[in-house]
Amino acid sequence: MLGIRQWLTNRIPAAAVRAAASPYIAGDSLNSALELADSLWQQRGITTTLDALGEEVETPQQSEQALTLYRQAAAEVVDRPWVTLSIKPGQFGCRLDEALCERQVRALATSCQAQGTGLTLDMEDTGLTDATIALYRRLRPDFSSLGMVLQTKLHRTAQDLEILGSVAGRVRLCLGVYDVSPSLGYRRKQDGKDNLLRLLPRALQLLDGVEIATHDERVIGEVRRIVEATAGARERVEFQMLLGVPRRRLQDELVAAGYPVRLYLPFVAQWDDAEAYLRRRLAESPSLAGLVIRNLLSSG
């Protein structure tokens, strides 16, 4: 099925892929992403995390290129405490060579730690879950600025949370955007979201910081109810959303209520790479195409 979807997605004209993606992308350079990050912070008190869109690497040289790009980004955000970085281990060669990936991520984490910039390991498809958790557990003791992601649609996440308890740190809880088989995860979004709410009290016990990445107003309301009923929790929670998903009113309400709100800002360094990545994402999650259209029609 994925093969047919990939085949179809590959036939969408490049201009259409770029046009469909443009509301979700903070421009075609690091500078454009930084300009947006600065204005979100100055005008609305919203912090950001930058993500350089790119394909899975196939050679050590491509992993080097990802490191070079992210090092540039780290250098640019040195005086911008409102900006953090998010990386995909796959983009640093995790599937190719775990030791290489660890060396590269360690190098970036060293720069980020020295300047006090947060760095988050995004979570990709289930083929990388074990490797990403292992990477985080090895690095986290050396880098207090490092965080990672758990996907609540996966059945394993309750156990993973307990495992992460030994290193604690900062974890982003999100439903997860990649398709999973029924043996590995919930098929219904609602079940994955209910799992997020079930896991939240334990996450608040085990972790230093909990980041809630969702655009679902009901889930956000429930999260607030749990957080506000838990002593000492409020200061350790942050809400996160994707650039381009129309939730301006909700974001401003959360900021006004005193919660930190962070937007995820993907930017494009090389359009060919980004386009390949976007096609793959559209093929994996056809519902994204529907979301794009619905959001273009809604005012937020």
Looking at beta carbons only, is 60 or 291 nearer to ligand FAD?
Answer: 291
DSSP 17-35: HHHHHGGG---SSHHHHHH
Compute the least distance from the CB of residue 49 to ligand FAD, in Å. Answer: 7
Strands 170-174 and 209-213: parallel
The one segment of 73-81, 163-171, 174-182, 248-256 that binds ligand FAD by CB under 6 A? 174-182
| 187 forms part of the interface with ligand FAD (CB under 6 A) | no
Using CB under 6 A as the binding rule, the residues of this chain from 135 to 154 that contact ligand FAD are 149, 151
| Catalytic residue (one of 51, 122, 160, 273) | 122
Q: What contacts 213, CB < 8 A, 6 or more positions away?
A: 149, 172, 173, 174, 239, 240, 241, 264
| 65 forms part of the interface with ligand FAD (CB under 6 A) | no
Size, binding site for ligand FAD by CB under 6 A: 25
Residue with tokens 């993500």: 51
What angle, 0 to 180 degrees and rounded to 10, lies between the N-to-C axes of helices 271-284 and 14-21? 80
85, 70 contact by CB (below 8 A): yes
Q: Which of 37, 174, 203, 268 binds ligand FAD (CB under 6 A)?
A: 174
| 70 forms part of the interface with ligand FAD (CB under 6 A) | no
Q: Which of 73, 112, 164, 242 binds ligand FAD (CB under 6 A)?
A: 242
Q: What contacts 239, CB < 8 A, 6 or more positions away?
A: 211, 212, 213, 214, 220, 223, 251, 254, 259, 260, 261, 262
| Active site annotation includes 273 | no
Strands 170-174 and 261-268: unpaired
Return the number of other C-beta atoms located less than 10 Å from residue 35's C-beta: 13
User: Binding string, 200-219, against ligand FAD, x = CB under 6 A?
Assistant: -------------xxxx---
Compute the least distance from the CB of residue 231 to ligand FAD, in Å. Answer: 26
| 264 forms part of the interface with ligand FAD (CB under 6 A) | yes
Looking at beta carbons only, is 114 or 248 nearer to ligand FAD?
Answer: 248
Give residue 102's identity as a one-letter amino acid code: E
| Active site annotation includes 137 | no
Residue with tokens 């506000």: 228
- Cα separation, 117 vs 208, in Å, equals 16
Using CB under 6 A as the binding rule, the residues of this chain from 82 to 111 that contact ligand FAD are none
| Catalytic residue (one of 51, 160, 170, 172) | 172
Compute the least distance from the CB of residue 196 to ligand FAD, in Å. Answer: 8
Compute the least distance from the CB of residue 263 to ligand FAD, in Å. Answer: 7
Looking at beta carbons only, is 60 or 244 nearer to ligand FAD?
Answer: 244
The one segment of 63-71, 198-206, 226-234, 288-296 that binds ligand FAD by CB under 6 A? 288-296
Q: Which of 37, 123, 227, 243 binds ligand FAD (CB under 6 A)?
A: 123
Would you please indicate which residues are annotated as catalytic (active-site) residues?
A: 122, 172
Which residues contact ligand FAD by CB under 6 A? 122-123, 149, 151, 172, 174-178, 189, 213-216, 240-242, 245, 264, 288, 291-292, 294-295
